[in-house]
Amino acid sequence: MAKFNLFQKVWQAHSVGQLANGQTQLFVGRHLIHEVTSPQAFGMLREKNLPVRYPERTFATVDHIVPTNEVSEPYSDPLADAMIRELRKNCEDFGVTFFDVDTGKQGIVHVVGPEQGLTQPGMTIACGDSHTSTHGAFGAIAFGVGTSQVRDLLATQTMTLNELKVRRIEVNGRLADGVYAKDVILHIIRKLGVNGGTGFAYEFAGEVFDRFSMEERMTACNMSIEGGARVGYVNPDDKTFEYLRGRPYAPKDAQWDESVEKWKSFASDKGCSYDDLVVIQADEIAPTVTWGINPGQAVAIDERIPIPEECEVSDRASILEALEYMKLDSGNPIKGTPIDVAFIGSCTNGRLSDLEEVASKIKGFKVKDGVKAIVVPGSQVVSKLAVEKGLDKVFEDAGFEWRYAGCSMCLAMNPDKLIGDQLCASSSNRNFKGRQGSPTGRTMLMSPLMVAAAAITGEVSDSRLIFSS
Amino acid sequence: MALAKIIEVSGTAVEVPGDDIDTDRIIPARFMKCVTFDGLGEYLFHDVRFDDKGNKNDHNLNDPRFSGASIMLSGMNFGCGSSREHAPQSLYRAGFRAVIAGNFAEIFFGNAINLGMPCVSMSDSCRRSLANLLNGRPESPVTIDVKELQVRVEGDSFPVELRAGARDSLLNGTWDPLDELLGKTDRVDKLAARLHYV
């Protein structure tokens, strides 16, 4: 019998047919929307007098623009206020479920989907947001789209796409203590390049991914796009099913067993073929920190900032550009770089387990004077669970600000932003120039615990040494 | 309404040098606080064109020699990062009708083609020659021939690549697929009915 990988099976199950230009018309089973990339799409529907064809397959929340330090409306930023009102109206007019701020279910769209049980194996999932790859952690094929495609999805529940090749990335062995999913994905991107994944879906596998919790798998899949891969996924297993059991939108009762059987059938067949295979040993991976202006410009915590003359000729111009922007000296150890701001949150690392891990280590420590440190739960559900466990108090006692749920300082479309050339130790996913809201602001990406270590010492530090017990 | 068939794009060109030019750089997130795409052209590459007091710097997009350019030339992995369609929209609204780069990030590429804006890939050595030529003679008219996959300027011709499906949809005027997708609703409904989930 022919053997297929998960990508091929899901693709086949959702292919409506081929279009005149050779692209596939793909059915998208779950469509998630937010306030930034959807208003123009609804505007286009209104212009053409089209309804939302399958309103029960689209779910909305508000995340990018919500302030994390105020809950009452109208928001002090009239533009943000206009955007949330627009989304509310669009959902109401077109019959779309909206996890609004008063539902207790609002949050970053890639945190909300999984925790509500909307994200399930074998699905196609799209959202006008590149970090939609996060949902691949459940064995779904999930990808970011532009606003015109949001329109296509609202109007037809389908879009045009070219089939991707599949690269299996196995991480084998055992991660050392203090090395997290964030380090694994930063290491993969560093190794394969920020555009190494263009044209590929990444299938993450191996002992490390088998052992990972669902939230760790989400962290890794989340950043597939930073390596150029629009899709990243992990094959579904018992952990996937256990995570979903009992979630609000997960199948129930008699449907549950049937669904699990169906979900299992989507996993890549043993012995199926891939377009490429990369094998990485877990012991190669150390806590990893970016020093540059794209997520591939990263080093292990014990390494030095690159010296352009020692690097490939083709990379030198971008290294020089990055060093100049980051105001870092080549050849210096990355450890000891002074920071101004520490940010724990985002769709990469704003989940309960991220907050629990940090809170379990920081008791008795204080954020360094002069460092602004904020913790932003990924969703209202995460926030509620964290507060029930007393994590907010642990963070506040250590000198962190505890905020309301949202995208916050990951992309700073809200009041949380860097000022001037502040340097931020950040658990988010992008270190592009100006990403955190100031045109000269600087970002270093790392795991949440490494962010905490930097907050406490005031400089980039090895969390394993700071929190050694 | 039938869409334009995009057989070629002609105009003057400007180089925005560098690899991995991300969509945050093309249009910083704070300018996306809007519910339409109108006016985005004004903020194209804003934070690398203006200092913190709003003064223009020496960025090529501020250089009067390149004003009116409708073709952008750049490096590898152009448009990486966020899926924001605001990026190609801001290029389009600033008057750009095509991009030549080493290669393109996937989501940006799709978004640009959906607007009928060709994104063609060119080798490193050809890009260098083209950049030299443009920087010496910015007024040179450049033509991107989508059919023949050539960029022509001043009697020179540089080969480019463009994915077959995208090329066909530009040449045939089907780059916005909505009508074609809407035409298949019967098949879509059948597929939805047999899926394992709602």
**A159 bridge partner residues:** A26
Please name the residue of chain B whose CA is at the shortest distance from the CA of residue A260. B196
CB contact under 8 A, A198 and B77: yes
Query: Using CB atoms, which residue from A43, A155, A440 is nearest to B36?
Result: A43
Tell me if chain B has a CB within 8 Å of the CB of A199.
Answer: yes
Confidence band for A414, pLDDT divided at 50, 70 and 90? very high
CB contact under 8 A, B85 and A147: yes
CB contact under 8 A, B191 and A16: yes
Contacts of B30 in chain A (CB under 8 A): 412-413, 437
Tell me if chain B has a CB within 8 Å of the CB of A195.
Answer: yes
Tell me if chain B has a CB within 8 Å of the CB of A206.
Answer: no
Is A248 within the bounds of a domain? no
Contact A425, B44 (CB under 8 A): no
Does residue A71 carry a pLDDT above 90?
no
Please name the residue of chain A whose CA is at the shortest distance from the CA of residue B176. A148
Tell me if chain B has a CB within 8 Å of the CB of A56.
Answer: yes
- The pLDDT tens digits of the residues spanning A14-62 come to 999 999 888 999 999 999 999 999 999 999 999 999 999 999 999 999 9
pTM, entire model? 0.97
> Which stretches of chain B drop beneath a pLDDT of 70?
1
Please state, in angstroms and rounded to a whole number, the distance separating the CA atoms of residues A310 and A308: 5
pLDDT at residue number B198: 86
* Total of domains in chain A: 2
Of A234, A185, A227, A207, residue with least CA distance to A427: A185
| Ordered alpha helix ranges (H), A175-331 | 181-192, 207-211, 214-222, 238-244, 254-265, 313-326
Please state, in angstroms and rounded to a whole number, the distance separating the CA atoms of residues A419 and A439: 9
Query: What is the rounded average pLDDT of the residues A182-188?
Result: 98
Contacts of B59 in chain A (CB under 8 A): none
Query: Using CB atoms, which residue from A64, A195, A434 is nearest to B105?
Result: A195
Query: Using CB atoms, which residue from B24, B77, B111 is nearest to A434?
Result: B24
Please name the residue of chain B whose CA is at the shortest distance from the CA of residue A265. B196
Query: What is the rounded average pLDDT of the residues A247-262?
Result: 96
- Mention every residue, 6+ apart, whose C-beta is less than 8 A from residue B195: A13, A14, A27, A29
Is A299 within the bounds of a domain? yes
Tell me if chain B has a CB within 8 Å of the CB of A322.
Answer: no
| Per-residue tokens: A341 | 């701001």
Phi, psi of A30 (to 5 degrees): -125, 130
Size of interface A-B (CB pairs under 8 A): 209
Contacts of B182 in chain A (CB under 8 A): 50, 155-156
A338: how many CB neighbours lie within 10 A of its CB? Answer: 13
The C-alpha R_g of chain B, in whole angstroms, comes to 18
Confidence band for A224, pLDDT divided at 50, 70 and 90? very high
3-state secondary structure B41-96: HHHCCHHHHECCCCCECCCHHHCHHHCCCCEEECCCCECECCCCCHHHHHHHHCCC
pLDDT at residue number B1: 59
| Per-residue tokens: A261 | 């059987």
**What's the CATH number where A455 sits?**
3.30.499.10
Phi, psi of B78 (to 5 degrees): -65, 135
Please state, in angstroms and rounded to a whole number, the distance separating the CA atoms of residues A372 and A314: 37
pLDDT at residue number A272: 98
Contact A395, A359 (CB under 8 A): yes
Query: Using CB atoms, which residue from B18, B47, B111 is nearest to A146?
Result: B111
- The whole-angstrom distance between B77's CA and the closest CA on chain A is 6
Tell me if chain B has a CB within 8 Å of the CB of A4.
Answer: no
Contacts of A159 in chain B (CB under 8 A): 177, 181
Contacts of A145 in chain B (CB under 8 A): 83, 107, 110
**A105, A128, A161 — which closes off a domain?**
A161
Of B43, B25, B51, residue with least CA distance to A420: B51
- The whole-angstrom distance between A306's CA and the closest CA on chain B is 18
CB contact under 8 A, B105 and A228: yes
Tell me if chain B has a CB within 8 Å of the CB of A65.
Answer: yes
Confidence band for A469, pLDDT divided at 50, 70 and 90? low
Just give the CATH number of B8-194.
3.20.19.10
Is A256 within the bounds of a domain? no
pLDDT at residue number B52: 83
Please state, in angstroms and rounded to a whole number, the distance separating the CA atoms of residues B128 and B160: 14
Chain A interface disruption, residue of B76, B91, B181, B184, most A CBs within 10 A: B181
- Mention every residue, 6+ apart, whose C-beta is less than 8 A from residue B183: none
Could you say which residues from 103 to 162 on chain A have a Cβ atom under 8 Å away from some Cβ of chain B?
120, 122-123, 128-130, 132, 143-149, 151-152, 155-162
Contacts of A82 in chain B (CB under 8 A): 35
Of B61, B71, B69, B76, residue with least CA distance to B152: B71
**A145, A161, A177 — which closes off a domain?**
A161
| Burial of A74 per CB tally in 10 Å (0-12, 13-18, 19+) | exposed
pLDDT at residue number A454: 98
Contacts of A39 in chain B (CB under 8 A): 35-36
Does residue A233 carry a pLDDT above 70?
yes
Query: Using CB atoms, which residue from B28, B37, B114 is nearest to A40?
Result: B37
Please state, in angstroms and rounded to a whole number, the distance separating the CA atoms of residues B122 and B128: 10
A309 and A448 both lie in a single domain = yes
Is A320 within the bounds of a domain? yes
Average pLDDT, chain A: 97
Of A415, A119, A224, residue with least CA distance to B83: A224
Contacts of A160 in chain B (CB under 8 A): 177, 181
Chain B interface disruption, residue of A76, A120, A130, A320, most B CBs within 10 A: A130
Domain encompassing residue A35: 6-161
Tell me if chain B has a CB within 8 Å of the CB of A412.
Answer: yes
- The whole-angstrom distance between B91's CA and the closest CA on chain A is 15
Could you say which residues from 323 to 382 on chain A have a Cβ atom under 8 Å away from some Cβ of chain B?
none
- The pLDDT tens digits of the residues spanning A80-105 come to 999 999 999 999 999 999 999 999 99
Please name the residue of chain A whose CA is at the shortest distance from the CA of residue B165. A21
